[in-house]
Amino acid sequence: MQTDSSFTFVLFGGTGDLSMRKILPALYEAHRAGMLEASGKIIAVARHEEDRNGYLQWVNEHVKAHVSKNGIDENAWSSFLERIEYVKLDLGKAEDFVKLRDAMQDLPGTRVFYLATGPSLFVPICRALASVGLNENARIVLEKPLGYDLRSSNAINDAVGEIFAEGQIYRIDHYLGKEPVQNLLALRFGNALFEPLWRREWVESIQITIAEELGVEARGDFYDNTGALRDMVQNHLLQLLSIVAMEPPHSMDSDSVRDEKLRVLRALKPIDPRDIGKVAVRGQYHAGVIRGASVPAYATEPGVKTDSATETFVALKVEIENWRWAGVPFFLRTGKRLADRVAEIVVNFRAVPHSALGSSAPRPGANRLVIRLQPNETIRLYCLAKKPGEGMNLSSVHLDLAFDQFFKEGQMEAYQRLLLDVIHGRLALFVRRDEQEAAWKWVEPILNEWAASGKPKPYAAGTWGPAAASAMLAQHDTCWLEEEN
């Protein structure tokens, strides 16, 4: 169904990998589903010497492969391409931004500027947009990473904030747009069943994992100056943590949701530098085998320093100092070249205080909720049931919410949802500045300690990371989900 929100979507970095893999495919899916106002236009901006036809040929070659499993509807694809214009732009030339302003002059609706560029270009682009008056009636989307640490993040936010009001700034974290994350909110705040259990009295521990089989690919130069703590923990993992642990907001409007997330981030127990070795594990992958194929060590990847001390794996024990969660450990984990590609949230409920079932008493972890974000998006509730036959013998069973089986409508990809939210002016799923500052403040002691200490612990590609990550959980009489079997 059509919306009544006209827009002009300007995509900086219009020939880049992110635009080809995520942004343009998401806009195409929204177009095919009739979710974009018919008059809406897309202007791709890049330095390449192309005219519009040349750019559309580039899009045909590089975007179609990344469209969802629904494939391409050629009629919808042709009409989608009609939305697209191309402007060659050199950030160092003020006259090029005049050219962009002229290209947008007669286009209606809200202006959306998506900066699919490196963070070093955020401030120059914003200032150049303001110099030609394009910061009015506009929204600006900033991709991660937003800075290298708290100081650099504040510098970017200060500069962008001089040009755009906070309500115009959309700091994107695509994990917040995933369907299971939205359903986590629905489960928690739409069902009386879970609310009484969602607290320290009934939750033993919580795990949040984002694991990748891939290495750094062609991003060695970027990654070697970033690392897993900055690239994944400071944003994705802490955002997921705040969604899991937040108090019920009084409504789902943008500030109500983000206020509650901020309270969680501010309640994170500060990490004493002297304790970092006990609650934080960093690793770096060495050569190994993934799905039968040999893969090289991180230090031999293109763009990576041979003596690099950059971490490709992080595991953390996190505590939240408030009444709901005091004493409950949250275990966060992320890494590259791990044994599987998976993102999931595991809520382990406490065992019953007394079992009347004798030797068939429930084992730890028998009651749990697993929210799978990728590759297949599901929510699974584990409980115990009696096995058929003689005697009271128990077995673990599960109740599934598999979205692709239960709902006939196709699922919306994370970028599609978030781009539509930008166009419609919905901020709830975007990171507010004070959230970002709170996250940086919490991770900085770890960053500083690791910068001053030795190298990460090695782990073989195709495994689940350093053994120290498992030992950290063993101290709390638990283990990572995949280790139970």
Q: Where are the domains of the chain?
A: 7-143, 176-483
Q: The tokens 């045909």 sit on which residue? A: 60
pLDDT digits (tens, 9 = 90+) for 70-94: 678 899 999 999 999 999 998 878 8
Give me the pLDDT at residue 200, please: 96
Structure tokens at 356: 């009347």
Mean pLDDT of 52-67: 92
Mean pLDDT of 356-385: 77
Whether the pLDDT of residue 356 is over 80: the answer is no
- Note whether 313 and 485 are within 8 A (CB): no
Structure tokens at 464: 């689940």
Mean pLDDT of 387-413: 75
Structure tokens at 238: 């802490």
Give me the pLDDT at residue 3, please: 43
Mean pLDDT of 458-470: 97
**Class of 7-143 in CATH:** alpha beta
pLDDT digits (tens, 9 = 90+) for 392-401: 777 778 888 7
pLDDT digits (tens, 9 = 90+) for 179-211: 888 888 888 888 888 888 999 999 999 999 999
- Note whether 110 and 128 are within 8 A (CB): no
The answer to whether residue 236 is catalytic is yes
Q: The tokens 């085998």 sit on which residue? A: 289
Whether the pLDDT of residue 5 is over 80: the answer is no
Pairing of strands 203-211, 330-335: parallel
Give me the pLDDT at residue 107, please: 87
Cα–Cα separations (whole angstroms), residue 105 to 82, 99, 114, 274, 382: 18, 10, 18, 58, 57
Phi/psi at 114 (nearest 5 deg)? -100, 120
- Region for residue 477 given its phi and psi (left: phi exceeds 0; alpha: psi -120 to 50; beta: otherwise): left
Give me the pLDDT at residue 392, please: 78
- Note whether 202 and 347 are within 8 A (CB): no
288-294 LR contacts (CB < 8 Å, sep 24+): 288/337, 288/460, 288/461, 288/462, 288/463, 289/461, 289/462, 290/213, 290/337, 290/339, 290/461, 290/462, 291/213, 291/462
Phi/psi at 183 (nearest 5 deg)? -75, -25
The residues facing 379 across adjacent strands are: 371, 401
Give me the pLDDT at residue 363, please: 59
Give me the pLDDT at residue 93, please: 84
CA-CA-CA-CA torsion sign (402, 406, 410, 416): negative
Give the separation between CA 443 and CA 440, rounded to whole angstroms: 5
- Note whether 321 and 244 are within 8 A (CB): no
pLDDT digits (tens, 9 = 90+) for 307-354: 999 999 999 999 999 999 999 999 999 999 999 999 999 999 998 777
Give me the pLDDT at residue 106, please: 85
Those residues with Cβ within 8 angstroms of residue 292's Cβ, 6 or more apart along the chain or in another chain: none
Give the separation between CA 472 and CA 279, rounded to whole angstroms: 7
The sheet carrying 378-386 orders its strands as 394-402, 378-386, 368-374, 342-349, 203-211, 330-335, 313-318, 280-286, 457-460
Whether the pLDDT of residue 485 is over 70: the answer is no
More confident position, 383 or 344:
344
Query: Among residues 48, 236, 250, 354, which one is catalytic?
Result: 236
Pairing of strands 280-286, 313-318: antiparallel
pLDDT-derived band at 391 (thresholds 50, 70, 90) equals confident
Give me the pLDDT at residue 358, please: 61
What's domain 176-483's architecture? Answer: 2-Layer Sandwich (3.30)
Give the separation between CA 119 and CA 146, rounded to whole angstroms: 6
pLDDT-derived band at 218 (thresholds 50, 70, 90) equals confident
Give the separation between CA 432 and CA 119, rounded to whole angstroms: 17
Give me the chain's average pLDDT, please: 91
DSSP secondary structure code for residue 476 in this structure: T
Give me the pLDDT at residue 1, please: 35
Could you give the percent of the chain with pLDDT greater than 90?
Answer: 70
Q: Poorest-confidence range of 165-169, 188-192, 198-202, 212-216?
A: 188-192
The residues facing 343 across adjacent strands are: 210, 374
